């Protein structure tokens, strides 16, 4: 099911990209082109931001542990 949601998001971004590319050639009056272009661009930015936030929340943040002093890991207290 997770695969389908990712593909839907990709199709939404693809649709908005095509819409913004075709919008100047559709024959709308200039005032409509400006409004539609602005609304389309802002909605594309908003949807991309939502997708980015969702992908960040899905990331599993693992704490990195470095073994800097590996020569001491076999050291036992009381032994020299």
The C-alpha atoms of residue 12 and residue 4 are separated, in whole angstroms, by 12
Residues 35-74: tens digit of each pLDDT: 998 999 898 889 888 888 887 777 665 566 665 655 555 5
Q: Domain ranges in the chain?
A: 2-56
Q: Of all residues in the chain, what percent are helix, strand and coil, respectively (each to 5)?
A: 70, 0, 30
Number of other residues whose CB lies within 10 A of the CB of residue 9: 16
Residues 3-28: tens digit of each pLDDT: 566 678 778 888 888 988 898 898 88
Going from the C-alpha of 49 to that of each of 26, 42, 61, the distances in angstroms are 28, 10, 20
Q: Please, which pLDDT band fits residue 75 given cuts at 50, 70 and 90?
A: low
Whether 18 and 40 have beta carbons less than 8 Å apart is answered as no
Q: How confident is the model at residue 35, as a pLDDT?
A: 92
Q: What would the DSSP string read from start to end of 56-71? A: HHHS--PPP---TTGG
């Amino acid at each position: 099911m997770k695969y389908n949601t990712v593909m839907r998001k990709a199709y939404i971004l693809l649709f908005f990209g095509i819409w913004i590319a075709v919008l100047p050639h559709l024959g709308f009056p200039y005032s409509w082109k400006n409004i539609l272009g602005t609304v389309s661009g802002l909605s594309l930015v908003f949807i991309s931001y939502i997708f980015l936030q969702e992908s960040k929340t899905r990331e599993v943040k693992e704490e990195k542990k470095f073994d800097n002093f590996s020569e001491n890991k076999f050291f036992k207290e009381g032994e020299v």
